[in-house]
Homo-oligomer: A and B are copies of this chain.
Amino acid sequence: MAGTDRRRTRLSGGPAIVLVEPQLGENIGTAARAMYNCGLTDLRLVKPRDGWPNKKAVAAASGADTVLDKARLYDSAEDAIADLRRVYATTARDRYMVKRILTPRFAASEMRQLVAARESCGILFGPERTGLVNEHIALAESVISMPLNPAFSSLNLAQAVLIVGYEWFAAGDETPPAQLATGHSKPATKERLIAFFEHLEEALDDSGFMRNAEKRPSMVRNLRNLFQRAQCTDQELRTLHGVVTSFVGPRKRKK
């Protein structure tokens, strides 16, 4: 999906993303893109199999160069996390360890609290084929496990980074869950809405549509409710007045 977003959200120093022995340059690139989508920029690479820097990573990052340019290279996971105070390990399989298991959403709210308290944190992701080995999981206080289809939970590396990053971003985002975008026009006042109702009902009286006097009140109510649900703007009411006029000609009566 192309484009940028007009919402304002504070981007702050989020968790480090630590890719342990990633295999494919493409996956490092798509993980960097997913990170930057979510406002994360601290990428750390532990022994990437195909060396670093990597052209395929740049091609796959689709413009998230700022993340790749700042990426740091390490010889061990221990070195990569040395400066962090809290580390999470991502796993899909149960490893039968005695360990806190968190949803990405819970971990994100915890990391927001850590970062607000100026404590550094990071998230370990394992190699594509195998995931993290148990020794690397033991470097972390907690495990993050994605709630996914139990019959098919295998995620691409960048997809795993995206879900964790998305939850991180959402935990700090103040976009209203549901809002009516009204473009360049404001929602109409009720006075203008009722003026349209009256125009429409006069026209329907004239056309004979509402000749059954007994049914008229419920018809009026139903039509009014329909247009109430549509939450029309001023601009749209002008269009609707024009639609009615185009059917029946200019209004003859005035109330």
Contact = CB atoms under 8 A, between A and B. Distances in A.
A3 to B, nearest CB: 3
B154 A63 contact: yes
Given A2-B130, A175-B103, A184 B96 contact: yes
Contacts of A1: 90-92, 125-126, 131, 146, 153-155, 157, 160
Contact of A154 (B3, B6, B101, B162): B3
A4 B143 CA distance: 15
Interface of A: 1-9, 11, 30, 33-34, 36-39, 62-64, 90-94, 96-103, 105-106, 125-126, 129-131, 143, 145-160, 162-163, 166, 169-170, 173, 175-185, 231, 233, 235-236
Given A1-B155, A100-B180, A102-B177, 10 more contacts: A1-B126, A2-B92, A4-B150, A5-B145, A5-B147, A7-B147, A37-B153, A98-B233, A101-B178, A103-B170
28 contacts: A1-B125, A1-B131, A1-B153, A2-B129, A3-B92, A3-B131, A4-B92, A4-B151, A5-B147, A33-B156, A37-B154, A37-B155, A37-B159, A38-B149, A62-B156, A64-B152, A98-B180, A98-B182, A98-B235, A98-B236, A103-B175, A103-B176, A103-B178, A106-B177, A143-B181, A147-B170, A147-B175, A149-B169
